[in-house]
């Protein structure tokens, strides 16, 4: 299948390069057989470096080690549901597991995840200042507001209401408690 992709896809890197230098697309060469997925990932990086060190021009756009089409089969209705159930909102589901979220979105499964806080609100609910304000009151900072009430955060930002939620602007302190905005800024000045 990948061989056909090189031959017939005008956006494929091999196809573009062959067209550019005016040579036919070479036939694909099988470098190893009967590998596990993990071994295949490892060998891909090995062969890329081997060819690079031997002076070949590398056309890969993506990093080696990706499993591409194989990953599409990972997300079924059941596995997406299980992954979604680890989250309270669509926003956190999208952040924590973008692959599962995308598959669920494309297949229309998101509406069946009724525990998402945002799902309990009717269309246009967040277009109301009071509703967004009350949601923001339940949060300590902008990050939490975005994670728990993503749609409210987006609308409040777009309409300029978020400037009224001053408690969300607390300075964020790094986990090691040493770095906050001011200390990072001062440290950065030293390197100038």
Q: What's the CA dihedral at 51, 54, 57, 58 to 10 degrees? A: 20
**Which pLDDT value is given to residue 137?**
92
**Which pLDDT value is given to residue 161?**
94
Question: Tens place of pLDDT for every residue, the chain, 192 residues?
Answer: 444 444 555 567 777 887 888 888 777 788 888 777 677 778 888 888 888 888 888 877 667 766 554 555 678 889 989 999 998 888 788 888 888 888 888 888 887 887 776 556 777 888 999 999 999 999 888 888 888 888 899 999 999 999 999 888 865 544 555 666 677 677 777 766
**Which pLDDT value is given to residue 44?**
82
Alpha carbon distance 79, 63 (integer Å): 26
Alpha carbon distance 109, 107 (integer Å): 6
Could you give the 3-state DSSP secondary structure of residue 38? helix
**Which pLDDT value is given to residue 1?**
41
**Which pLDDT value is given to residue 175?**
52
Which residue bears the tokens 């390069």?
A: 17
**Which pLDDT value is given to residue 6?**
46
Q: Which two tokens stand for residue 32?
A: 């190893």
**Which pLDDT value is given to residue 3?**
47
Q: What's the CA dihedral at 94, 129, 133, 91 to 10 degrees? A: 0
- Quick one: which of 121, 147, 145 has its CA closest to 133? 145
Domain segments of the chain as ranges:
2-70, 74-116, 121-192
Longest CA pairwise span in the chain (Å): 65
Could you give the 3-state DSSP secondary structure of residue 123? coil
- Quick one: which of 168, 120, 174, 176 has its CA closest to 144? 168
């Amino acid at each position: 299948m990948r061989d056909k992709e090189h031959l017939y896809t005008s956006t494929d890197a091999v196809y573009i390069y062959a067209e550019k230098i005016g040579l036919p697309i070479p036939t694909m060469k099988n470098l190893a057989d009967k590998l596990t997925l993990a071994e295949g990932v490892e060998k891909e990086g090995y062969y890329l470096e081997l060819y690079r060190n031997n002076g070949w021009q590398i056309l890969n756009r993506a990093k080696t080690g990706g499993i591409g089409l194989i990953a599409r089969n990972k997300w079924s209705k059941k596995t997406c549901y299980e992954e979604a159930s680890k989250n309270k909102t669509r926003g956190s589901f999208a952040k924590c597991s973008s692959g599962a979220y995308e598959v669920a979105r494309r297949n229309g499964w998101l509406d069946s995840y009724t525990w998402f806080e945002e799902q309990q609100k009717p269309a246009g609910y967040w277009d109301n200042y009071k509703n967004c304000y009350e949601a923001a009151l339940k949060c300590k900072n902008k990050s939490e507001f975005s994670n728990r009430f993503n749609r409210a955060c987006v609308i409040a930002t777009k309409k300029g209401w978020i400037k009224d939620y001053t408690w969300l602007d607390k300075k964020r302190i790094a986990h090691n408690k040493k770095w906050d905005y001011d200390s990072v800024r001062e440290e950065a000045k030293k390197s100038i």
